[in-house]
Structure formats: C-alpha cells, structure tokens
Amino acid sequence: MSPPAVTQQAQDILEAYLSQKGLRRTEERRHILQAIYEELSHFDADTLHRHLTQKGLRISRATVYNTLDLLVECGLVKRYHFSEGPTLYERSLGRRQHDHLLCLDCGDIHEFCDPQLGPIIEGVAQLFQMRPTRHELIIYAHCTKTHCPNRTKNPTFATK
Amino acid sequence: MSPPAVTQQAQDILEAYLSQKGLRRTEERRHILQAIYEELSHFDADTLHRHLTQKGLRISRATVYNTLDLLVECGLVKRYHFSEGPTLYERSLGRRQHDHLLCLDCGDIHEFCDPQLGPIIEGVAQLFQMRPTRHELIIYAHCTKTHCPNRTKNPTFATK
DNA sequence: GTTCCTGCAAAGAGTTTGCATTGTG
DNA sequence: CACAATGCAAACTCTTTGCAGGAAC
C-alpha cells in the first residue's frame, strides 16, 4: 500500500475510534497523525512538536502528548522505551512487529524481525503462567565497518 | 558462593578498580556497594538513597547517583530501563545474565534465562555488520491465575 | 448549550550540575 | 597538601496537570 493510502487508512481508523468513544475529531489530531505517518519515524514528543511548529501549525506540547497517548491507545502508534533518552514513537499501521538494534557509535536505530522470538516469549510466559501482551528487545551494538559513514554523527545510547 | 562472600569479592573488585583508576576508597562507596549486594534488588536510585538514610547513613542523592555510575562502569552493577518509571539497578557479580518479565497486574519483576536468545542476537547483529555489547528483552504480561496473590498490589508498568 | 479539547504556564518526577567543604592518598 | 569526592541546592529534561477559553457535536 502506498504511503498516502496508509495515512488515509490511519485517518479512517482514528475517526472510527473517536466516534465509537464519543471523542472529537479535531484538526490537531488529524495533523499529528499525518505528520507521524508521512514525515517522521522513531521520534520523541518534542521532535514532533517542533516539526509541527516548523510547518506553521500552532499545536501545544500538551496536545502533542495527549494525542500520542490517544494514538497509542487506538493502536495506530507504538511507544518505545530505549535507554536513558525520551520516549520514542513510531507509526504502526501496515508495519510488521519488529525489534530494534541501536548503534552505540552513531545512535542509529535499525529494525529487525526475528521469527524465532515469538516462540521464546510464549515459552517464557507459560513458564510463569502469564499471558504476554507485548515485548521489547533492544540490542546495543558497535559498528564493525572501519569507515562507518555514521561514525561522524553524535553517538547516543552510549553510556546509559 | 554465600552472600557475604560475594559482597566481599565485589568490594575487592571495587578496590582494585579504584586504585587502578587513581580514584578514592570512600566509606560512601563501600556502604552503597554493600547495600546493593546484601539488601536490595531491582531498585531505583531514590529507593537506594532512602534505604541508606533509614540505616542511619547520611549519603547524599548526588553521591548515590555518582556511585551507581561508577559501579555500572566497573561491571558490578547492571542498569535496566523498563517502561516509563525510573532507571532500575541490580547487582551483577555472581549472577547469570538474564532478562525480565514484568507483570502488568502487580508490577512484579520475574527473571529468566533463555539460551536460545544469544544466537538470535548474534545473528541479527551480524546481519547489520555490528558487534553486540548488550541487550534488554522485556516481556510485559498478565497473570493467568484467577487468584493471583499479587493482584492486590498496585500495578506498575500498566499503561506506558 | 454541553462537553470535550486546546493552549498556556506551573508543577512534578527523575537526574545532573556547580560550587564550597571535606577527606583520601 | 593536592585533588578527588561529598553534600547541598539549584538547574535541567521530559512529562503531566490545572484551569480558562474555544471548538465540536
């Protein structure tokens, strides 16, 4: 599915969720959802806020936080807790569930899917008589390429 | 190895690390290391600080944070970033590397070791030409026991 | 018109930093 | 006695909250 089509589908899902819950369809919510689906990935709330401001949209930080909560609730956005920094978000519609590998040298975030992970998680949860709802696997790693093009960027996730 | 013996070994390692780096052996560092090795697990900085205060030790929050950094640096303590809350710490000497399963109903933290995980991580890192240094796998799950004894406790990790 | 949502600014949690004082080597 | 470590408080980052005004239904 093309990016605009996914965005449209996301908007439709949001609308359905809002009317079902008796909540309101506001410009702000549409704008935020669009930015997330067409322009950003692995962003934090403040980056999203600045992005919207630069586009000339006057949306407050509070609304950004509120709307992110809403979008996570209705499943259109996923929330991640990597090391120290702020909470990061990602669009989730039309994307396979995946995990993350963080480069300790440049802060780059790589995504991967490993089909072996699901059974492991199920097995562990069963051992404790628990029903798993979600998981986060984060691998922290260094680049082995001698001339990694990212080496120049500022490292993140470095110490904590 | 018995708990006091592990603590002693940890103190020895700390001393060695300090002299090697030209740093100072202080009462505070010894007290903090001892509390971590003998009295606490999955604690945050503030819990550790209150714990020390209750024992009659007057150690400042700043020193607690500094010392935790130091202990993580020299490998005696592990740092974890679970969902929203504060950073958690754990003693690491004499313990196998393990991952965590968090109960969404009561906030309990279970530990598990899965030998299949290592190869998966190696494989993923190799795919990206990266050298993995550490990882965090967190499984969030609900209890399936109808009368979970923990159900009464305050849930943590519930929403974010 | 009612209720939800927004924007603003203040508060809050967790952590870091600056600086004078203390204490180790 | 030099310089690292401590204690204290203020600053800082990220996020939440309270409340008045404004927009959706």
Query: Over its length of 160 residues, how does chain A's per-residue pLDDT go in tens digits?
Result: 677 799 999 999 999 999 999 999 999 999 999 999 999 999 999 999 999 999 999 999 999 999 999 999 999 999 999 887 899 999 999 999 999 999 988 888 999 999 999 999 999 999 999 999 999 999 999 988 665 655 555 555 655 6
pLDDT in tens, B50-101: 999 999 999 999 999 999 999 999 999 999 998 878 999 999 999 999 999 9
Q: Where in chain B is the domain with CATH 3.30.1490.190?
A: 96-160
> Using CA atoms, how far apart are residues B57 and B51, in angstroms rounded to an integer?
9
Residues of chain B in contact with residue A116, where contact means CB-CB under 8 angstroms, are 116, 120
Domain B96-160, second-level architecture: 2-Layer Sandwich (3.30)
User: Is the pLDDT higher at A55 or at B150?
Assistant: A55
State the residue for tokens 């990694």: A148
Q: Which residue of A has its CA nearest to B86?
A: A84
Bases along strand C below 7 A from a protein CB: 4-9, 13-18, 23-25
What pLDDT does B101 receive?
96
**Percent of chain B topping pLDDT 90:** 80
pLDDT at A151: 55
Among A27, A133, A130, A13, residue whose Cα is nearest residue A77: A13
Spell out where chain B has E strands. Answer: 43-44, 77-80, 88-91, 99-103, 109-112, 130-143
State how far the Cα of A109 lies from the Cα of A157, in Å rounded to an integer. Answer: 10
Q: Taking 60 as the threshold, does the pLDDT of residue B120 lie above it?
A: yes
**Residue B12 one-letter amino acid:** D
Instruction: Report the distance separating Cα B153 and Cα B143, nearest Å.
Output: 13
Domain A4-91 has CATH 1.10.10.10: yes
* Portions of chain B given CATH number 1.10.10.10: 4-91
Buried b (16+ CB within 10 A) or exposed e, A12-23: ebbeebbeeeee
B159 has a pLDDT exceeding 70: no
Ranking A96-105, B43-52, B118-127, B144-153 by mean pLDDT, the lowest is: B144-153
pTM: 0.89
Please indicate whether, in this complex, the C-beta atoms of B138 and A136 are within 8 angstroms of each other: yes
A24: its two tokens: 């309101």
